[in-house]
Structure 1
Amino acid sequence: MKNLITTFCFLFLFLSAFSQEMVYQETKDITYTAHSDGYSQEKCKIDIYYPENKKDFITLIWFHGGGLTGGSKEIPDYLKNKGIAIVGVGYRFSPQVKVVDIIGDAADAVKWTFEHIAEYGGSPRKIVVGGHSAGAYLSLMLGLNKRYLSDRNISTDMILGIASFSSQAITHFTARKEKGLTEFQPTVDELAPLFWVRKDAPAILLITGDRELEMVGRYEENAYLKRMLELVGHTNVKLFELDGYDHGMTYPAYPLLLKELENWTKK
């Protein structure tokens, strides 16, 4: 009888722990930049949404879209309550600063996350960079061009993966504008993710809308990026085209992202 009671007690405790509802917290407007000017202090802030009663979780650093000229930091609603942390990043805009400076802001936000996520219960070994449109471009630039993070004493090898929603793979149109070029003058230079394809880049998830509905050439750019990565020997890159969806294809993409996060943590 005593053994039976003990068994029931252990079973009750196990089921209680298993059914415990995950609790989430959100902390807003954390400054991550070392720049002391007013504009940097205004824009270079993050919000962090994380599970309070879970440890060693995945953290997705999420860069918003807006052409590198607008927008605001965001934590996508669909990704809430999914057992992961999300760091929503704000950054400076063109023309107030150059595109290289914006990429630098993104790198500073990644540095902050690596240095502080353990304080919230997260794992520095499970950090993913991602975003939509201009935010996806920033993610690819950080993950493919080693310099931005290495300048901050972070190796791109430390990144679990890159989640890119409808990024530019050629030079971003805002960077081209800085040189007097239009969006219909495609360029591949040091401000293009394509320029930095390499075998040893982190795992990469590329998702775009329908090629006939997307912004100028986005699907084709991503298809070429995937092909070039494969040609140099990269073995963990996937591309999804969401038929029937235009540039605002984030909802159908979020479930694919969550599934890929699971795959990356199993490897």
Structure 2
Amino acid sequence: MLLPNRRHERPLVLFVASTFAQKTEYVTKYNIPYYSDSLNQADEYLRQQCVLDLYYPKNVTHFPTIVWFHGGGLTGGHKEIPQALKEQGMAVVGVGYRLSPHIKAEHCIDDAAAAVAWVFNHIEQFGGDSTLIFVSGHSAGGYLTLMVGLDKNYLKKWDIDANRIAGLIPFSGHTITHFTIRAELGIPGTQPVVDSLAPLYWVRKDAPPLLLITGDRHMEMPGRYEENAYLMRMMKVVGHKNTQLYEMQGYGHNMTAPAFPLLLKDVRRIVKEKQAND
């Protein structure tokens, strides 16, 4: 049994796709722009980077959706749809976004919010349920997940209430200000900063359910587990009732493989709870 905020052995958690998922046909649509035509035409780099891939079950309705942000330090990486999230009876959205130094790293959050807003505004056209949109990602993608979900100002620009997100599940994300943003400001990587570009700055009681997952504190990037542990503590202090932290003992920063089952389990838990309350 996996317990929140406890170090544990390599988890032996197995998820077998349901009969429903096994018999379902899945479709992938590639390179869908999530900004307007006018913005795409005005900026070649934006047009190239700000696209998403949508993987979804065909001829199915009211399925949940996971929006997935790739890692890479806000300076690299490519949009992806993780294999472990396929054929699970849900949609997955792999998001591309602009990268530093082409833009200031903080504007990666603007792209992330625009992509999440696109999903809210369009997923029902493909059969999805806009009340079952989850946001997740690894490393830099975990940071973007937290910023979009905790700082409500980014989605507010698109007339979306961040509290509509069904769940936030960041993998090994910064909860202080991202190191690439600090580097752009001339702040050493060893100097932790908690300002308005830090998820910790935006702790709030009414945030969506939050599942924090990190690697082993002794194998992770320096301070990464402790940052997440502090965010968990402060979320509880402000009265948030649904924050959990898992530390994947024996795994370092690249802990996505054993963490994907935890993501799927949390999505299914929340979906079940929402359905029971409807």
TM-score (normalised: structure 2): 0.88
Shift of 1:51: 0.5
Shift of 1:18: 6.3
Please state whether the residue corresponding to 2:106 is helix, strand or coil.
Answer: helix
Please state whether the residue corresponding to 1:258 is helix, strand or coil.
Answer: helix
> Paired residue for 1:7?
none
Q: State the Cα RMSD in Å.
A: 1.3
Is residue 2:109 matched to residue 1:107? no
Shift of 1:101: 1.3
Q: Deviations over 1:51-88 (max 9, x none)?
A: 10321001000000000000000000011001110000
1:49-128 to structure 2, matched below 5 A, reads: 49-128=55-134
* 2:24 corresponds to which of 18, 22, 25: 22
Please state whether the residue corresponding to 2:23 is helix, strand or coil.
Answer: coil
Shift of 1:262: 1.1
1:193-212 to structure 2, matched below 5 A, reads: 193-212=199-218
Shift of 1:19: 9.3
The structure having more radius of gyration, on CA atoms, is: 1
TM-score (normalised: structure 1): 0.92
> Paired residue for 2:227?
221
> Paired residue for 2:34?
32
Please state whether the residue corresponding to 1:87 is helix, strand or coil.
Answer: strand
In structure 1, what is the Cα distance between the partners aligned to 2:236 and 2:134? 21
Shift of 1:266: 2.3
Q: Once structures 1 and 2 are overlaid, which stretch shifts more, 27-36 or 184-193?
A: 27-36
Please state whether the residue corresponding to 2:65 is helix, strand or coil.
Answer: strand
Q: Deviations over 1:81-125 (max 9, x none)?
A: 011100000000011111221100001101111111011110101
> Paired residue for 1:154?
160
In structure 1, what is the Cα distance between the partners aligned to 2:157 and 2:29? 28
In structure 2, what is the Cα distance between the partners aligned to 1:19 and 1:266? 16
In structure 2, do the counterparts of structure 1 residues 33 and 252 end up closer, same or farther at CA, with 3 Å as the change threshold?
same
Shift of 1:20: 7.6
In structure 2, do the counterparts of structure 1 residues 228 and 18 end up closer, same or farther at CA, with 3 Å as the change threshold?
closer
**Number of residues paired by the alignment?**
251
* 1:45 corresponds to which of 19, 35, 51: 51
In structure 2, do the counterparts of structure 1 residues 153 and 260 end up closer, same or farther at CA, with 3 Å as the change threshold?
same
Shift of 1:156: 1.0
In structure 1, what is the Cα distance between the partners aligned to 2:55 and 2:191? 39
Please state whether the residue corresponding to 2:245 is helix, strand or coil.
Answer: strand
> Paired residue for 1:173?
179
AA of the residue aligned to 1:236: N
> Paired residue for 1:246?
252
Please state whether the residue corresponding to 1:175 is helix, strand or coil.
Answer: helix
In structure 2, do the counterparts of structure 1 residues 182 and 18 end up closer, same or farther at CA, with 3 Å as the change threshold?
closer
Q: Deviations over 1:132-162 (max 9, x none)?
A: 0000100100110000001110001211010
Report sequence identity in percent: 55
Question: Unaligned stretches of 5+ in structure 1?
Answer: 1-16
> Paired residue for 1:266?
272
Shift of 1:33: 1.6
Please state whether the residue corresponding to 1:99 is helix, strand or coil.
Answer: coil
Question: Unaligned stretches of 5+ in structure 2?
Answer: 1-18, 274-278
